[in-house]
């Protein structure tokens, strides 16, 4: 089953433009992540796919059929929300079984399907409890189980892990990955957490202010971000971006000069990831000497904030730098292969 958003625009009654010219297509069986800051339109896109919102313009297609005016129930999709609502008076078992009961499945089939999904999520020993006897993490898993029990072709999840504490979030994330592999259905997952997106997505749609900025594999988004916004949004600590000018084969920003192999003269933004800046022992022709401003040890890494004039960069290194102190000279190399350039005006990738 192929899913397509065709040039969707969504304007709410108060005039807020939540999505604009949102055009995106993907194949059956993918794990698609909608990633972006709060308010970028991720939930709106997800709700439009589910049929919970109607686009102001454009269409949603499944296998080439326009489903824009189909009711949610007719779409064969299930959805898990951040604020999932379990039926408080039903047991865990009955909560999970509910979608199958609505469809009139027989008791034997219901039991088999409920067990299977509960085993996948490690919640089979909770069957007799009621929602108020569950921890937040357990309740979230029950909500996921209820969404998956009838094996919908498409499962939509809107920030489903955001109520979980950090460790449980990591565990549930790994489980979702495994379940996706086992079920081989399409998952659409909304998050503002770039690490979660990188870990889960077969492809990630990055949104900013209602627009689709980039849609690609996690690797491509990390290695070839389409804009400065994507570059800064993906990866922690964020990619260093430096405003300057390219002239005579160099990028210059204040006292910083970096050779540019493929120069396009004019104002530009230089980008380099903190983990790709190399610490070297000696000054040299392609080496920049900077001053250590802040050192943060985040085992096993160390983060160094270095300055030269007005320019400041963060370096992430695994090297032992216990001898370094604020004010010391630090020699770094910015390898040409690790440099990104973006247009100053609109942030578009230049090379
Ligand atoms: P995200 O999921 O990325 O946080 P949303 O899709 O929820 O973003 O919202 C996108 C924009 O639309 C935001 O500016 C939000 O305030 C606005 N919005 C969402 N729902 C409504 C609504 N029902 N009425 C008016 N504005 C809304």
Ligand 1: residues with CB < 6 A are 12, 14, 16, 18, 36, 38-44
- Which of 120, 134, 130 has its CA nearest to residue 180? 120
- Give the pLDDT confidence score for residue 262 in this predicted structure: 67
Given 181, 216, 233, the domain boundary residue is 233
Are 205 and 281 in the same domain? Answer: no
Cis amide linkage into residue 14, ω under 30° from 0: no
- The answer as to whether 259 is a domain residue is yes
- Give the pLDDT confidence score for residue 185 in this predicted structure: 94
- The answer as to whether 132 is a domain residue is yes
- Give the pLDDT confidence score for residue 263 in this predicted structure: 64
Tell me the pLDDT tens digit for each residue of 247-270.
Answer: 988 999 999 999 886 667 899 999
Q: Of all protein residues, whose CA lies closest to atom 22 belonging to ligand 1?
A: 12
Are 48 and 195 in the same domain? Answer: yes
pLDDT value at 1 more than 80? no
Q: Which domain holds residue 289?
A: 240-343
pTM tops 0.85, yes or no: yes
Are 205 and 268 in the same domain? Answer: no
CA distance 136 to 84: 10
Are 53 and 166 in the same domain? Answer: yes
Handedness of CA 162, 163, 166, 167 (dihedral sign): negative
Q: Which residues pair with 305 in a beta bridge?
A: 294, 314
Are 249 and 217 in the same domain? Answer: no
Token pair 């005006």: residue = 345
- The answer as to whether 7 is a domain residue is yes
Q: How far is the centre of ligand 1, averaged over its atoms, from the C-alpha of 43 (Å)?
A: 7
Tell me the pLDDT tens digit for each residue of 48-93.
Answer: 999 999 999 999 999 999 999 999 989 999 999 877 789 999 999 9
Q: How far is the centre of ligand 1, averaged over its atoms, from the C-alpha of 192 (Å)?
A: 14
- The answer as to whether 200 is a domain residue is yes
Q: List the CATH number of the domain containing 191.
A: 3.40.50.300
The pLDDT-based confidence of 162 (bands split at 50, 70, 90) is confident
Residue 322 DSSP one-character state:
T
Atom number of ligand 1 nearest to Cα 16: 26
Atom number of ligand 1 nearest to Cα 41: 6
- Give the pLDDT confidence score for residue 180 in this predicted structure: 95
Two structure tokens written together for 136: 């937040």
Q: List the CATH number of the domain containing 304.
A: 2.40.50.140
Q: How far is the centre of ligand 1, averaged over its atoms, from the C-alpha of 40 (Å)?
A: 8
CA distance 176 to 200: 8
- The answer as to whether 350 is a domain residue is no
- Give the pLDDT confidence score for residue 48 in this predicted structure: 97
- The answer as to whether 348 is a domain residue is no
Are 89 and 178 in the same domain? Answer: yes
- The answer as to whether 124 is a domain residue is yes
The pLDDT-based confidence of 116 (bands split at 50, 70, 90) is very high
Are 297 and 178 in the same domain? Answer: no
DSSP per position, 142-197: HHHHHHHTT--SEEEEESTTTTS-HHHHHHHHHHHHHHHHHH--EEEEEES-HHHH
Cβ-Cβ contacts under 8 Å for 67 (sequence gap 6 or more): 51, 60, 61, 74, 75
- Give the pLDDT confidence score for residue 164 in this predicted structure: 80
Answer with the residue of higher pLDDT: 322 or 67.
67
- Give the pLDDT confidence score for residue 260 in this predicted structure: 84
Token pair 């900025």: residue = 213
Q: How far is the centre of ligand 1, averaged over its atoms, from the C-alpha of 190 (Å)?
A: 13
pLDDT value at 217 more than 80? yes
Tell me the pLDDT tens digit for each residue of 218-246.
Answer: 999 999 999 999 999 999 999 999 999 99
- Give the pLDDT confidence score for residue 55 in this predicted structure: 98
Are 48 and 99 in the same domain? Answer: yes
Mutate to test the pocket of ligand 1, among 5, 11, 16 (most ligand atoms within 8 A of CB): 16
Q: Of all protein residues, whose CA lies closest to atom 16 belonging to ligand 1?
A: 39
- Give the pLDDT confidence score for residue 125 in this predicted structure: 96
pLDDT value at 34 more than 90? yes
Strand order in the sheet with 250-253: 256-259, 250-253, 240-247, 266-272, 340-343
Q: How far is the centre of ligand 1, averaged over its atoms, from the C-alpha of 75 (Å)?
A: 23
Given 214, 233, 252, the domain boundary residue is 233
Other CB atoms within a 10 A radius of the CB of residue 56 amount to: 14
Q: Of all protein residues, whose CA lies closest to atom 23 belonging to ligand 1?
A: 12
Tell me the pLDDT tens digit for each residue of 282-293.
Answer: 998 889 999 999
Cβ-Cβ contacts under 8 Å for 257 (sequence gap 6 or more): 250, 251, 288
- The answer as to whether 22 is a domain residue is yes
- Give the pLDDT confidence score for residue 351 in this predicted structure: 80
Are 19 and 166 in the same domain? Answer: yes
* Cβ–Cβ < 8 Å for 200, 173: yes
Tell me the pLDDT tens digit for each residue of 175-187.
Answer: 899 999 999 999 9
Q: Of all protein residues, whose CA lies closest to atom 5 belonging to ligand 1?
A: 41
**Phi-psi domain of 39 (left: phi exceeds 0; alpha: psi -120 through 50; beta: other):** left
- Give the pLDDT confidence score for residue 120 in this predicted structure: 87
* Residue 23: φ, ψ to 5°: -130, 115
Q: Of all protein residues, whose CA lies closest to atom 17 belonging to ligand 1?
A: 18
Given 201, 233, 265, the domain boundary residue is 233
Are 167 and 104 in the same domain? Answer: yes
Q: What percent of the chain is modeled with pLDDT above 90?
A: 85
Domain count, the chain: 2
Q: Of all protein residues, whose CA lies closest to atom 14 belonging to ligand 1?
A: 39
* Burial category of 211 from C-beta neighbours within 10 Å (exposed 0-12, middle 13-18, buried 19 and up): middle
- Give the pLDDT confidence score for residue 35 in this predicted structure: 98
Angle at 89 between CA 83 and CA 94, to 5 degrees: 85
Q: Of all protein residues, whose CA lies closest to atom 21 belonging to ligand 1?
A: 12
Are 274 and 153 in the same domain? Answer: no
Lowest mean pLDDT among 169-178, 309-318, 331-340: 169-178
Q: How far is the centre of ligand 1, averaged over its atoms, from the C-alpha of 222 (Å)?
A: 27
CA distance 65 to 51: 14
* Residue 60: φ, ψ to 5°: -115, 130
Are 59 and 191 in the same domain? Answer: yes
Q: What percent of the chain is modeled with pLDDT above 70?
A: 99
* Residue 11: φ, ψ to 5°: -115, 125
* Cβ–Cβ < 8 Å for 22, 58: yes
Atom number of ligand 1 nearest to Cα 44: 6
What mean pLDDT is predicted for residues 341-348?
A: 95
Q: How far is the centre of ligand 1, averaged over its atoms, from the C-alpha of 259 (Å)?
A: 44
């Amino acid at each position: 089953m192929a899913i397509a958003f065709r040039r969707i625009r969504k304007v709410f009654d108060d005039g807020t433009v939540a999505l604009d010219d949102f055009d995106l297509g993907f194949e059956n069986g993918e794990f698609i992540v909608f990633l972006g800051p709060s308010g970028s339109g991720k939930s709106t896109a997800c709700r439009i796919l589910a049929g919970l919102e109607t686009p102001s313009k454009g269409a949603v297609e499944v296998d080439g059929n326009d489903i824009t005016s189909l009711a949610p129930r007719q779409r064969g999709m299930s959805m898990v929300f951040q604020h999932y609502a379990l039926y408080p008076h039903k047991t865990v078992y009955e909560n999970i079984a509910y979608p199958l009961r609505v469809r009139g499945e027989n008791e034997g089939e219901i039991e088999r399907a409920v067990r299977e999904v509960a085993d996948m999520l490690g919640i089979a020993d909770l069957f007799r409890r009621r929602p108020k006897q569950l921890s937040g993490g357990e309740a979230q898993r029950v909500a996921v189980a209820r969404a998956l029990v009838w094996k919908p072709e498409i499962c939509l999840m809107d920030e489903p892990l955001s109520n979980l504490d950090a460790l449980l979030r990591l565990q549930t994330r790994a489980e979702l990955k495994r379940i996706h592999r086992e079920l081989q259905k399409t998952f659409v997952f909304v998050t503002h957490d770039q690490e979660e997106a990188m870990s889960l997505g077969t492809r990630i749609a990055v949104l900013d202010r209602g627009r689709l900025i980039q849609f690609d594999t996690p690797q491509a988004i990390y290695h070839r971000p389409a804009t400065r916004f994507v570059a800064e949004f993906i990866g922690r600590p964020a990619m260093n971006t430096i405003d300057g000018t390219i002239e005579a084969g160099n990028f210059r920003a204040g006292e910083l000069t970096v050779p540019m192999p493929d120069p396009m003269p004019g104002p530009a933004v230089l980008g380099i990831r903190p983990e790709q800046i190399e610490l070297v022992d000696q000054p040299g022709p392609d080496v920049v000497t900077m001053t250590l401003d802040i050192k943060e040890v985040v085992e096993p890494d160390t983060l160094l904030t270095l300055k030269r004039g007005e320019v400041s960069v963060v370096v992430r290194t695994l090297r032992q730098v216990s001898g370094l102190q604020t004010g010391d000279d630090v020699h770094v190399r910015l390898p040409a292969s690790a440099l990104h350039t973006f247009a100053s005006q609109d942030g578009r990738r230049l090379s």
